[in-house]
Structure 1
Amino acid sequence: MNKEKLWTKEFISISVVNFFLMLSMYLLLVTMATYATEEYNASSSTAGLVASIFILGALTGRFFAGKQMERMGSRKILLGGTLLFIIVTLFYFLPTNVYGLIAIRFFHGIGIGFATTATGTIAAHVIPSTRSGEGIGYFSLSAVLSTAVGPLIGIALINSIGYSSIFVFTLAMGIVSFLIALPIKAPKIKYKTSSDNKGFKLSNYFEPKALPISIVMLAGAFAYSGILSFIAAYAKEINLVQAGGFYFFVYAIIILISRPFTGRLMDLKGGNSVVYPGLVLFAIGMLVLSQAQSSIIFLVAAAIIGLGYGNFQSSTQAIAIKVTPPHRMGLANSTYFIFLELGLGLGPFILGIMVPLIGYGGLYLSMVALIILVIPLYYILHGKNDKEIFLTE
């Protein structure tokens, strides 16, 4: 049987646009707190707000993007979001104060929220339904790789040139993304219009069918947020600073190697075939990380977590799209990422309270219990019905 074509011009282009936008996002996330401290003499809490307010902006953008795509189409939302991203980037070059910087970060996040919700929706539409797991797996690599490459580029630019260089680089990425996005042809979807859509209704902003798997992702992202926020501090505490610098590189490489296989497995056997092993590996990797005393063990933990959480994340995204009618895919994407980013955003605040009490090692050990609890949560909300969705087409 001939496979439907996956690597079309549109799929490649939208993946590249997503990579460039997310690259800029993570580059700024890891550098803005230090920038606010050094350039504006901001306190540590204010500097943290400068970095994290971007996530709140992205959530705001995603909240409205899903609904607006039904009216305007995903291509217009992509171009509009990217254009807003470019315009707001210009304001980084203007003299301001820390409060102005916070406002810039918020609106910058809105631009990213609009644009990346659209990229995910367009990708979902151009991927053949018979290869959705594989396709979403490859597409999500653009985001995964950006988490490894972005921080490396940001730190290198600051050390070699200065803070202005990260804004120049971000502006360049925005312009290139806009130019690549211009010729992309997003599939035209017939959206259902109804009088029920008028007024404020949660179903106009969230996709109910995607909510169960999004709740599962919220719990998983909450556990993973402890790594995003505290892995550098943990590496320093256990005297493995050099290994800490390679954590996300190893994490990304393992996902890059495994994603083609896990994507095909999901298309053949269903979401359970990847999600259950992914959660088990995620828990094992977190356990190994909590006990790490050498660089080898530390990086082995990174590899296991990449194999576990990395594939769990892409699989849940594919599930959110699979359970949703084509005309609601925009809302499904925004729903999914709102819950994912809520987990990543709320996690550091809540987990940060635990650090003085149990330490970083104790924090990661406690996350093993949370991840184990996610397994029955997944079964209840989706896993028990997975075969009916994936294997009865």
Structure 2
Amino acid sequence: MNKPKLWTKDFISVSLSNFFLFMTFYILLVTLPSYVLQELHGNASEAGLMTTLFLLSAIISRPIAGQWLERVGNKRVLLTALVIFAGASLLYFFPKTVIGFLLIRLLHGVGFGMATTAVGTIVADMIPTSRRGEGMGYFAMSTNIAMVLGPFVGLMAVQQWGAKILFTLSVIVAFCSLLTGLSVKLTSNGQHHEVAHSNFSIWNLIEPTAVPIAVVGSFLAIVYSALLSFVSIYADEIHLASVSSLFFVVYAIVLLISRPFTGKWLDLYGPNVITFPGIFLFAIGMFILSKSGAAFTFLLSAGMIGLGWGTLFPTFQTIAIQDAEPRKRGLATATFLSIYDMGIALGSFIVGAIVSKMDYSTLYFYCSLYILIGVVLYYFLHTRKSKIKSQEIIKEQEI
């Protein structure tokens, strides 16, 4: 029997749109704090707000976007979001104060939150059900590659050519996201009109079925935020600055190699086959990182973390989508990403406070132990509940 087609023109287009979206995000993520400090003469807290306010507006906008996806259709929300995102990118040339930049970051975050919700929902709808784990894994690679290339391009631009070229690049990449999004062909369905006149409720902004796995993802994302924020500083501390830039390169390479296998295994054998080993590999990778004193172990930890956490995130997102009704996929995507981003934001704050009390090696060692709690959390919030649900379905069928 022939497999249903995965690599369609629309799947490639929406993956490219997501890639350019996250490229813009990472280009600015690593450069704006230093721009605020050096060019606008702001302080460290103001520099930190550049990321915090962006994520906060993204978190707030996602549930609203998730409900709009049901009401007005995927394509309209996607294009509206990408127009806001690209338009906000144009505004970075104008403000000369920190306040002006913070206002732009709020608007940019709204576009980002809406767009990531829309593309996540659209790609889940277009992937054949029998290949959803595989397809979501490949789609997640567009984010992973952007995570590696974005900081590299952003830092090179600001160091070699200055802020104007940096902002020009971010505009070009953001408009590439809009153009590739425009090429996605979608058909509207009647579900949008059926719910269009439903009463507004705060509970309509959350998809309950996505909350348990989102909590697991958010719990582990706290450790990932410690990695994003401090791994380069830790590399300096252990005299491995010369290879610190390769950390996420190795992370991405391992992802690229493993993705064809892990996605198919998810479809064939279910999420537990991926999740439990993934959590253990993530913990082992953090333990090796905490004990690193040479380039080999430092980069080995990157590979282990890439194989562990890199497979967990798309697996969790796939679970969130599969557990929801088809018409609720947009809301499920929004719920999952919002709670996940809360973990990143909370982790940045918590870890920032902890590192003042201990060195990075100790921090990463305790992170490896913390990750193992995720095994228990995943079992009770997903595996155990899934078993109970399956048993109930079997009993109903017997009756």
What TM bracket, shorter-length normalisation?
over 0.9
1:58–1:111 contact (8 Å) kept in structure 2: yes
Equivalent residue letter for 1:4: P
Once the two structures are TM-superposed, the CA of residue 68 in structure 1 deviates from its matched residue by 1.0
User: Does structure 1 retain, via aligned residues, the 8 Å contact 2:19–2:177?
Assistant: no
Q: Which residue of structure 1 aligns with residue 162 of structure 2?
A: 162
Q: Show CA shifts across 1:40-97 (max 9, x none).
A: 1001111111233211121122121101111111111110011011211121111331
Shifted more, 299-308 versus 152-161: the winner is 152-161
Residue matched to 1:213: 213
CA distance in 2, matches of 1:195, 1:117: 19
Structure-2 residue corresponding to 1:198 = 199
Give, in whole Å, the separation in 1 of the partners of 2:292 and 2:264. Answer: 33
Q: Does 1:107 pair with 2:110?
A: no
Q: Is the 8 A contact 1:270 1:386 kept in 2?
A: no
Kept after mapping to 1: 8 A contact 2:212/2:382? yes
**One-letter code of the match for 2:48?**
G
Shift of 1:187: 4.4
* Corresponding letter in the other structure for 2:108: H
Between the aligned partners of 1:200 and 1:265, the Cα distance in structure 2 is 39
Query: Paired residue for 1:6?
Result: 6
CA positional deviation for 1:191: 2.3
Structure 2 match to 1:139: 139
Q: C-alpha distance in 2, partners of 1:305/1:85? A: 31
Task: Report the counterpart of residue 22 of structure 1 in structure 2.
Answer: 22
Cross-structure match for 2:185: 185
Structure 2: give runs of 5+ residues left out of the alignment. 395-399
Deviates more, 1:14-23 or 1:242-251: 242-251
Q: Which residue of 1 aligns with 2:295?
A: 295
Shift of the alpha carbon at 1:190?
A: 3.6
Measured in 2, the distance between the counterparts of 1:191 and 1:288 equals 49
- More deviation, 291-300/42-51: 42-51
Contact 1:140–1:314 under 8 Å retained in 2: yes
- In the superposition, relative to structure 1, how do residues 63 and 268 fare at CA in structure 2: closer, same or farther (>3 Å)? same
Residue pair 1:64, 1:205 contacting (<8 A) in 2 also: yes
For the 8 Å contact 1:247–1:299, the answer to whether it is kept is yes
CA deviation after TM superposition for structure 1 residue 196, in Å = 9.6
Counterpart residue identity of residue 96, structure 2: T
SS at match of 1:184: coil
Aligned to 1:357: 357
* Cross-structure match for 2:223: 223
Q: Is the 8 A contact 1:210 1:320 kept in 2?
A: yes
Q: Deviations over 1:94-119 (max 9, x none)?
A: 13310111110111111111111111
SS in 2 for 1:86: helix
CA deviations 1:216-247 (Å, max 9, x no partner) are 00101111110011111111111111221111
- State the SS of the aligned residue for 1:40: coil
Preserved contact between residue 189 and residue 327 of structure 1 (Cα < 8 Å): no
Partner of 2:367: 367
Q: Kindly indicate whether the alpha-carbon contact (under 8 Å) linking 1:189 and 1:326 is maintained by their aligned counterparts in 2.
A: no
Secondary structure of the residue that 1:356 maps to in structure 2?
A: coil
Q: Percent of pairs identical after alignment?
A: 40
Paired residues of 1:61 and 1:114 also in contact (CA < 8 A) = yes
- The equivalent of 1:41 in structure 2 is 41
- Separation in 2 of the partners of 1:128 and 1:95? 46
C-alpha distance in structure 2 between counterparts of 1:323 and 1:227, whole Å: 30
**Which residue identity is paired with 1:226?**
A
Shift of 1:386: 4.8
Give aligned pairs, total: 389
Inter-partner Cα distance in structure 2 for 1:308 and 1:194: 39
Kindly report which structure 2 residues correspond to 1:182-331, keeping only aligned pairs within 5 A, or say none: 182-191=182-191, 193=194, 197-202=198-203, 204-331=204-331
Normalising by structure 1, we get a TM-score of 0.96
